[in-house]
Amino acid sequence: MKKGIFTLLLVLCMVCTVAVMGTMTASAAETSGSCGENVTWVFDSQTGTLTISGTGQMYYPLPTPPSFEDDPFYFDDVTSVTPWASVEDSIKKIVVSEGITNLYEKAFTGCYNVTEVSLPTTLESIGEKVFYGCTSLKTVELPDNLHTIQYMAFSASGLESVVLPANVVNIHMDAFGNCKSLQSVVLPENLKTLQSFVFQECNALTSVTFPAGLRVISNYAFYGCSSLENVTLPDGMTTIEYHAFDNCTALRSIEIPAGVTKIDKSTF
């Protein structure tokens, strides 16, 4: 009898433990909150939609990386640190509402199932690694007010084509690097300098439209774009830095304007 009672109590304890753990897990998966002084977020689990609403800039605290003295081999593995990190695997669509002016660092890193993104006309800047590794994202329409795309913003994403608005004047290093499905790019009209590594290892890239005002193509900009066959550079070009088109194994022709005064070693 005592043994039966003990067994019953043990089973009840196990049931209660499972129930408590389930409650803790459910509460851990937050579905709304703040991500800026005047910015909030809501996740709809039924539709898989993450909506960012409010005005001004997104913001949330980031972990402080260790000093070189503490960890000389530290590497930022772009782990998600966002308020919605607990539901990121379930996010399929991202809607950024009118009034938001920037997308903060690593905002959607790790959202591998996102297939659709809607951006507001008020957006001015896309931060570092915002869409890094979003491999299911095939296309995105960038708003006309956008002027800055930060380091690795779309790196290793699934984008197939990119049309950059005329007002984009800052495309930082490796912004679209390692986009293995990227086939065509239209660069913005007002761009003067194409930074380093911007389209490196975009193996499927076959078409690049350069703006008339472009002056400099920095080192490794198109390194390893192994499907790129023909390149026509604008008349205003002056500088092509080292390894800019290196390892572009399919490159058959490139039209270099007379105004180019500097071509570094191993450019091609």
Q: Tell me: the pLDDT tens digits for 185-222?
A: 999 999 999 999 999 999 999 999 999 999 999 999 99
pTM for the model: 0.84
Distance separating alpha carbons of residues 178 and 171, to the nearest angstrom: 15
What is the domain partition of the chain in residue ranges? Answer: 160-268
DSSP state of 10: H
- CB crowding 82-119: b at 16 or more within 10 Å, else e: bbbbebbebbebbbbbebbbbbbbbbbbbbbbbeebeb
Domain 160-268 of CATH type 3.80.10.10: yes
Higher pLDDT, 51 or 76: 51
Lowest mean pLDDT among 27-31, 42-46, 171-175: 27-31
